[in-house]
């Protein structure tokens, strides 16, 4: 059986089941004329901050739940509206800021290390760390001694040239350059290579 009641939000008279009204009165809960007033009435006492926080939490939940759908929608929108020429113009607008970003000392430090690792991985594969370590050791050694001093000490100065000469001495047919310069070579140059 229905009885008349007053809506707690819009204060209009409306009909409600007696059992529902009794239950609400027992719990000292308000009654509303419909879903709209119920929603508005429940939200009335919330502060704007609370409403925003609740909506943000709800949005996060929604996005997590509909991730695939949203991804598809965004991809479709991109396909529909993407114009490479316009996008290039937009990108160019950001270029001065990007240059400033790249000029920062901390970025340069980071980038130097990044490039170093990138190159090491590219050229030496799984042994990239060994390469970096070797280069570090080399850099440290060069602060102590110069390259010339090191080679002279190890007797590896002009190593390639020395080896070439040793090889020529053992295998090569040409006579060695004697104390009189190229004289001997010129005399023995029957194979046409003895150019003076």
**Contacts to Zn ion by CB under 5 A:** 7, 9-10, 33, 37
CB nearer Zn ion, residue 3 or residue 56? 3
CB nearer Zn ion, residue 14 or residue 124? 14
The distance of closest approach from Cβ of residue 50 to Zn ion in the complex, given in angstroms and rounded to an integer, is 23
CB nearer Zn ion, residue 37 or residue 120? 37
The distance of closest approach from Cβ of residue 54 to Zn ion in the complex, given in angstroms and rounded to an integer, is 23
Integer CA distances (angstroms), 147 to 113, 142, 159, in order: 24, 7, 13
The distance of closest approach from Cβ of residue 15 to Zn ion in the complex, given in angstroms and rounded to an integer, is 12
CB nearer Zn ion, residue 8 or residue 157? 8
Smallest Cα–Cα separation from 174: which of 195, 164, 160, 188? 188
Cα 9 to chain centroid distance, Å, stands at: 53
CB nearer Zn ion, residue 24 or residue 157? 24
Structure tokens, 151 = 């080679």
Radius of gyration, CA atoms only, the chain? 43
Query: 172: phi > 0 → left, psi -120 to 50 → alpha, else beta; which?
Result: beta
The distance of closest approach from Cβ of residue 55 to Zn ion in the complex, given in angstroms and rounded to an integer, is 23
Query: 3: phi > 0 → left, psi -120 to 50 → alpha, else beta; which?
Result: beta
The distance of closest approach from Cβ of residue 37 to Zn ion in the complex, given in angstroms and rounded to an integer, is 3
Count of CA atoms in the C-beta half-sphere (13 A) of 141? 11
């Amino acid at each position: 059986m229905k009885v008349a009641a007053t809506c707690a939000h819009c204060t209009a008279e409306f009909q409600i089941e007696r059992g529902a009204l009794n239950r609400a009165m027992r719990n000292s809960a308000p009654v509303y004329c419909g879903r709209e007033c119920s929603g508005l009435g429940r939200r009335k006492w919330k502060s704007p901050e609370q409403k925003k926080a609740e909506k943000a939490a709800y949005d996060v939940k929604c996005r997590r739940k509909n991730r695939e759908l949203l991804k598809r929608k965004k991809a479709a929108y991109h396909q529909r509206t993407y114009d490479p020429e316009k996008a290039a113009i937009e990108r160019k607008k950001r270029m001065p800021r990007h240059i400033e970003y790249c000029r920062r000392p901390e970025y340069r430090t980071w980038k130097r290390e990044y490039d170093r690792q990138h190159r090491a991985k590219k050229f030496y594969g799984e042994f990239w760390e060994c390469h970096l370590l070797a280069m570090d050791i080399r850099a440290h050694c060069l602060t102590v001694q110069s390259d010339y001093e090191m080679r002279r000490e190890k007797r590896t100065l002009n190593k390639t040239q020395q080896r070439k000469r040793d090889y020529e001495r053992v295998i090569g047919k040409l006579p060695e350059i004697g104390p009189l310069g190229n004289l001997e070579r010129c005399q023995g140059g029957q194979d046409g290579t003895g150019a003076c």
